[in-house]
Amino acid sequence: MKLTVFGASGGTGREVVRQALARGHHVTAVVRDPARLDEPVQDVVVADVFDPAALVAAVGGSDAVVSALGPRGRGPSRICRDGAAAIITAMRQAEVRRLLVVSNSGMHREGDGWFTRLAVKPILIRMLREEYEDMRVMEERVAASGLDWTVVRPPRLTDGPHTGVIASSVGRNVRGSFTISRADLADYLLRLAEDGSHRGDAVSVAKGS
């Protein structure tokens, strides 16, 4: 399978690239600084992720596109929403349909227990309102793209081990589990790319038991 990975030099993106290569996939990594890549990928594209014209060649011929773009630090951000818009435009031009996008479960309350929903989430949403707004608009743009999309919503990401034990829930958060390792998130993204499941769904994931 041929994959294009955006955010390939970030925490989740690096795991996606590493595991994809281990599974025998062909990876095109889209980055601004190729020196930050840890793995010897087959293709590296240095491009501005806000410029659709610069991304067409990167996504062309891919079986699936994975976006692990995310805000860095606190404060106003447009990386998710504008990056998604550019990726969607490029995919349409290249006639590539499968899109997997990492969002977050923190800004959503469906499925949460009462304490999390009424006490924890309001504080979290106020603290991260700028980052969450960026991802909220991203989700809207992806859902309206007309592509074969899946939005994956993890909770707090850790640098824990790759266990392969992952809980998931469509349209609502995984109750009682508040973390997932980046390695397991990458595993889940690759499973979706490989089996084509959950097209048109927003899926929350978390550490399984």
DSSP assignment of the chain equals -EEEEETTTSHHHHHHHHHHHHTT-EEEEEES-GGG--S--SEEEE--TT-HHHHHHHHTT-SEEEE-----SSS---HHHHHHHHHHHHHHHHT--EEEEE--STT--TT--HHIIIIIHHHHHHHTHHHHHHHHHHHHHHHTS-SEEEEEE--EEE-------EEEEESSPPTT--EEEHHHHHHHHHHHHHH---TTEEEEEEE--
- As a whole-number percent, the residues of the chain with pLDDT over 90 amount to 74
Average pLDDT over residues 91-109: 94
pLDDT tens digits, residue range 174-190? 998 899 999 999 999 99
Beta bridge partners of 151: 101, 202
Reported confidence tier of residue 196, pLDDT bands at 50, 70, 90: very high
Among the residue ranges 35-39, 56-60, 83-87, the one predicted with the least confidence is: 35-39
Identify the pLDDT of residue 59: 97
Mean pLDDT within 115-143: 85
* CATH at 59: 3.40.50.720
At 6-44, the pLDDT tens digits run 999 999 999 999 999 999 999 999 988 887 887 788 899
Question: According to the model, what pLDDT value does residue 75 have?
Answer: 61
* 109-118 core/surface letters (b: 16 or more CB in 10 A; e: else): bebbeeebee
Q: Confidence class of residue 112 from pLDDT cuts 50, 70 and 90? A: confident
pLDDT at position 73 over 70: no
Domain span including residue 173: 2-207
User: What number is the average pLDDT over the span 60-65?
Assistant: 97
**How high is the pLDDT of residue 53?**
95
Question: d(Cα 45, Cα 9) in Å, to the nearest integer?
Answer: 12
Please give the pLDDT value at position 77.
Answer: 81
User: Are the CB atoms for 91 and 31 separated by under 8 Å?
Assistant: no
Max distance between CA atoms of the chain, in angstroms, equals 47
Could you give the C-alpha distances from 1 to 125, 143, 160, 209, in angstroms and in order?
A: 38, 24, 27, 30
In total, how many domains does the chain have? 1
Is residue 67 within 8 A of residue 6, CB to CB? The reply is yes
